[in-house]
A and B are shown apart, each in its own frame.
Chain A
Amino acid sequence: MKLYVKYDINLACRIIVQEQLERLGIKYELLEFGEIEISDSVSDESFTELQYSLERYGIEIINNQKSQLVQRIKDTIIEMIYEKDKLPTSTISNYLADKLNLSYGYIANVFSEYTYTSIENFIIIQKIERAKKLIVEDGLTLTEVSYKLNYSSVAYLSAQFKKVTGLTPSMFKRIVDRRRNLNQ
């Protein structure tokens, strides 16, 4: 007897990926076109295991060492900004070089090659992103924000906020508030 089947490769692959991620207890979100967003950090063992179990189905994790390094640089910077006691006593370039055990020149080159921006600029964007959160979600004043993010003065924080967003912090806050009122 011969059976004929028709299959949907896309659906099949999605389900396989989902099953394997769930089996390993990895929190994820499937995005379009083979992108998977992993919300937690994944241990090296789980990653290898995932790679191995997907390989059996001919599914390969595109794993590029440079793009992984970029992710580690980003994670290190974000951790540094979000945990005040993690702020390095040395310069950021020394801190990153020590932590990643690579020369800063190399780190900076790979970073800009993949992100189209510099490490310095990325740090500023992240700090302003954090400032936005503190203003909107925690209702902190600018003075409190500048203290929390180690700015030397409120004026300097305001100037940097304006440079990144084109808006003053007070105009930003007004826009967010009015938008929320509209949506309620």
Chain B
Amino acid sequence: MNSDSSQMRILLAEDDEDDRLFFNDAINELKMNNRLMTFKDGRDLMDYLENPETTLLPHILFLDLNMPCKTGAECLKEIRANPKFKDLTIAIYSTSSSEKDIEETFIGGANIYIKKPNDFSKLKKVIKDVVNMNWQYHTSGLNKETFFLSI
């Protein structure tokens, strides 16, 4: 019930530096209080998540599928195999919009599938919509097990 409880903790794993900066801009425009941490690849991300000193888990993780060292798909698998992260919302970024890819990603444990738009202003809106929807799940006790959003 202190200020931390109303802060949305957001993680981003993305290897492209421009995309990270852009994402940061989009997040800064959100009205809600938030804290964003970014990682340059999947290994970096997993090192952080699995570190015993990381006690304050994030509310939502944005995961790029194509990353060096460890891909987004590998991270998704490892995270979902660990019950510690069962309340963590995972949003996957991808360029594919095939229904089969989308379905398989959800079955693999993702909650949100984002088809990366080409245009920056559209991507900004998508990020806002996703964070907002996750906020509703986080603050209204909605069921995360049936939380799927394809956008």
Interface set of A (CB-CB < 8 Å, partner B): 31-36, 61-62, 74, 115-117, 122, 125-126, 129, 132-133, 136, 164-167, 171-172, 174-176, 178-179, 182
Contact B2 A62 (CB under 8 A): yes
What are the interface flags for B29-40 relative to A under an 8 Å C-beta threshold, 1 for contact and 0 otherwise? Answer: 001100000000
Taking A115-B139, A125-B136 as known contacts, 10 extra A-B pairs with beta carbons closer than 8 A to each other, sorted by chain A number, are A33-B4, A33-B5, A34-B2, A34-B5, A117-B135, A122-B140, A133-B143, A171-B103, A175-B106, A175-B148
What are the interface flags for B12-28 relative to A under an 8 Å C-beta threshold, 1 for contact and 0 otherwise? Answer: 00000000000000000
Give Cα A165 to B31, complex, Å: 23
Contact B136 A117 (CB under 8 A): yes
Contact B136 A165 (CB under 8 A): no
Give Cα A136 to B142, complex, Å: 14
**Known A-B contacts A34-B1, A62-B2, A174-B103; A74 and B150 likewise in contact (beta carbons under 8 Å):** no
Which A residues are in CB contact (< 8 Å) with B99?
A: 171
**Known A-B contacts A35-B5, A115-B136; A129 and B143 likewise in contact (beta carbons under 8 Å):** yes
**Known A-B contacts A116-B32, A129-B143, A182-B107; A165 and B1 likewise in contact (beta carbons under 8 Å):** no
The reply to whether the CB of B55 lies closer than 8 angstroms to some CB of chain A is yes
Give Cα A71 to B75, complex, Å: 36
Least Cβ–Cβ distance between B13 and chain A, in angstroms? 22
Give Cα A35 to B140, complex, Å: 14
Least Cβ–Cβ distance between A21 and chain B, in angstroms? 13
11 contacts between A and B (CB under 8 A): A32-B55, A33-B5, A34-B5, A115-B135, A116-B31, A116-B32, A117-B132, A129-B142, A164-B149, A167-B148, A179-B109
Least Cβ–Cβ distance between A39 and chain B, in angstroms? 10
